[in-house]
Amino acid sequence: LNDNLISFYIRYLQATLERESPQVLKKVHIFSTFFFEKLRSTKGRINYDGVKAWTAKIDLFSYDYIVVPVNEHAHWYLAIICNVPNAIQGVPEDDDVEMIDDPRKPHDKDPRSTPPPSSRTLQSSPGGKRLDPRQPRIVTLDSLESPHSPTCRALKEYLIEEARDKKNIELAVVPSGMSAKKIPCQNNYCDCGVYVLGYLKEFLKDPDEVARKLLQREDLDWDIQPA
């Protein structure tokens, strides 16, 4: 699928939400297919000046989720920035959520201190620990299951610059990147665009629940049939 077809279906999904679930559009900002191409680093730095006017009339940090369609080397995939407001204000404390220290993070030598929200994980069922689903995080959904660290890094740098330019502040929590697991994948070399649209359609049905499952690596039970 080319840019025009991807863009047309995104607009179709938006028009449907405008009629049926306008509250979702208040939570999710979807960039055009040309956004990341313009932002993309070419000389080791992102082209923030090339895209900063794209959000001149909106507060990007007022959205819970930012969706970025990406095309690289004729392959489509999706990036979703989750819990965007918490990147500005930090992850709120929740006495009802049992937290444990993340062993990968260094501990402060002062025993009275507590780890910052960005170094905490949720206690999960036996067999491992899961990320706090309120954490700001950049998730890539790729039907070829490829990781995209450079893309996550570019979007992280973009958010940092956006906060400085529009709000004159530094991010309280800088989101890190991760690859989505347990999502439907293509079995050929031509259906990537269809999967991107399928991912977006499913995400928009319930962004909060999908984000929670993505961050905690739970099964999404999506049935995407490209044909």
Residues with a known catalytic role: 75, 142, 192
Cα separation of 37 and 43, whole Å?
A: 14
Tell me the β-bridge partners of 66.
29, 81
Cα dihedral: 179, 181, 186, 187 (round 10): 120
CA distance 60 to 204: 18
* Beta carbons of 225 and 184 less than 8 angstroms apart: no
How far is the C-alpha of 217 from the C-alpha of 182, rounded, in Å?
7
State the amino acid at position 198 in one-letter form: G
From the centroid of its chain, how far is CA 77?
Answer: 12
How far are the Cα atoms of 12, 23, 32 from residue 16, in angstroms, in the given order?
6, 12, 17
Q: Which helix (H) or strand (E) holds 137?
A: strand 137-141
Instruction: Phi first, then psi: give them for residue 132, nearest 5 degrees.
Output: -60, 120
- Whether 169 and 160 have beta carbons less than 8 Å apart is answered as no
Structure tokens at 3: 């840019």
Residue 118 token pair: 């960005």
